[in-house]
Amino acid sequence: MFLRRKVPALAACLLAAVLIAAFAISPHGFYRDANLLWGNKAYWYPFLDTDTVLSAVRCLRADVDAYVFNPCDPQLRVFTYSPLWMYLTAFPMTEAWVPWVGLSWVMLFLASLFLLPAARGREAQVIMVLSTASSASVYAMERGNNDLVIFALVSLAAVLTIRNVALRRLGYAFALLAGLLKYYPLVTMAIALRERPGRFFAITLASIAVTALAVLVTWDDLVRVLRSIPIGQFYTDMFGSKSVGLTMVELFGAPRWTDPLVRAVLSLVAIGVGLRIGLGHALHSDLARLSPRERSFLLVGALMCCSCYFSAQNIGYRAINLILVMPAITALLALTGRPVYRWIAAAAVALLWTGAWRYLWEDGVMAGTGQFDVSRYAALFLRDALWWGVIAFLLATIVALLRDSPLPAAVLGWFRKASPVI
């Protein structure tokens, strides 16, 4: 029974084991070919993004300013993550540390998958396996990106913040740490809205104090980091609320004002749809049938996905945050049988497999027919349409999950009383 409940996590573990074995057997042949099956064009050695952090550590230990120029990195990438990572300079790191640190981050990610709520039924298990063993998972693990660590921290927060008071405090600490290490997860602190107002304000004040201290201690480096965050091409594997507008500008020559206009319109539509559905009865009633663990992972995952989508330009591996919401979506499908949840689950799985279907479509089928550019445009707008649909639904779940919390319920009640009766 335990094994059946943990099939999705075990599938991801098996996938990771196969990739590790492939690298051991043939690092430049079988390993790269195996990655291509998931649409991932692997670097010539694993954990390139792990080395983004560790190379900066090595340079700083050698008195080279990695915030300006990082010759220790194989791609000469300057350090653009939270300066808090640079406390790793306390350790005598060399290049030999890269595979072990990268592997430890992968293990953290895989271990956190065992925290996910159990899938309800065979269809849910299939969907969950497709999610955990997806292109996004392979991409994140192959690069050893520190989003793997963030995923583990917010997973712990989702589990602990539905337990007793002491464990909830620890859960909020994990969520705050995730935010301090990667910025956008700070939004997950909104889960504290489920607390009584007094406790919520205490948690908020403590979080603000810790964040202010971290900013004060790292201010000089933080300013340089924020100024040097790179911006890539929006018509590659990157996704976010900017993608549609900037793709129209960069690929189709639309005026510059098209970007903020398209982004604002799409954002307002998504928020409006989210509020309308989230404040309605149907979704609220459906979510009430979920277990506390399913609701907690849904809320944390929805906050993570929406935060990164609206705040940043995201490389494809960050889609792993969708895995956090999949147990609840599949549970809603199993409990209600509503087609909308099947469509949302299908869209989320398609987004988690974006790397594979884009590679197959663009570099395979359409490249052979000489219609590569047309196929790329079609794939881009299909991906963005799926993202906007999923984001609107996740916004609705955030509203529906928090509307009955003490503070939001009090504010909503005040507005209802203050609204004139027509």
Q: 261 in a domain, yes or no? A: yes
Distance between CA atoms of residues 291 and 297, nearest Å: 10
Residue 51, Cα to own-chain centre: how many angstroms? 20
In a domain, 69, yes or no: no
pLDDT in tens, 91-111: 998 999 999 999 999 999 999
Range of the domain at 263: 116-404
Per-residue pLDDT band for 355 (boundaries 50, 70, 90) equals confident
Q: Assess if residue 13 is contained within a domain.
A: no
Task: Give, to the nearest 10 degrees, the angle between helix 326-336 and helix 122-132.
Answer: 160
Predicted confidence (pLDDT) per residue in 121-130, tens digit: 899 999 999 9
Comparing 367 with 183, the larger pLDDT belongs to: 183
What pLDDT is attached to residue 412?
67
Residues 131-190 pLDDT 10s: 999 999 999 999 999 999 999 999 999 999 999 999 999 999 999 999 999 999 999 999
pLDDT at position 364: 57
Nearest by Cα to 343 from 33, 77, 156, 127: 127
Summarised one tens digit per residue, pLDDT across range 24-48 is 887 778 888 888 888 888 888 889 9
Q: How far is CA 80 from CA 96, 183, 225, in A?
A: 22, 12, 5
Lowest mean pLDDT among 115-129, 181-195, 216-230, 389-403: 216-230
End-to-end CA distance of the chain: give it in Å, rounded: 57
Q: How many domains does the chain have?
A: 1
Q: Which residues pair with 239 in a beta bridge?
A: 314
pTM: 0.92
Residue 22 is assigned to a structural domain of this protein: no
Residue 158 and residue 170 in contact, taking contact as beta carbons nearer than 8 Å: no
Specify if 7 maps to a domain. Answer: no
Main-chain phi, psi angles of 302, to 5 degrees: -65, -40
Mean of pLDDT values over 58-68: 90
SS3 (DSSP) at 329: helix
Asked if the structure places residue 383 within a domain, the reply is yes
What pLDDT does 28 receive? 77
On the question of pLDDT at 368 being above 60, the answer is no
For residue 227, CA distances in Å to 60, 69, 105, 141, 256 come to: 19, 14, 27, 28, 22
At 260 the three-state DSSP class reads helix
Q: Which distant-in-sequence residues (6+ apart) come within 8 Å of 157 by Cβ? A: 171, 172, 174, 175, 178, 188, 191, 300
Task: Tell whether 151 is covered by a domain.
Answer: yes
Nearest by Cα to 348 from 141, 135, 154: 135
Give dist(CA 343, CA 393) in Å, integer.
Answer: 11
- pLDDT beyond 90 at 238: no
User: Residue 29 domain-assigned?
Assistant: no
User: Across the chain, which distance is largest between two alpha carbons, in Å?
Assistant: 73
Q: What is the pLDDT of residues 193-214, one digit of tens each?
A: 999 999 999 999 999 999 999 9
Average pLDDT, the chain: 88
Per-residue pLDDT band at 422 (split at 50, 70, 90): very low
Torsion of CA 336, 342, 344, 345, to 10 degrees: 110
Q: Give the mean pLDDT of 350-378.
A: 69
Cα separation, 302 vs 309, whole angstroms: 10
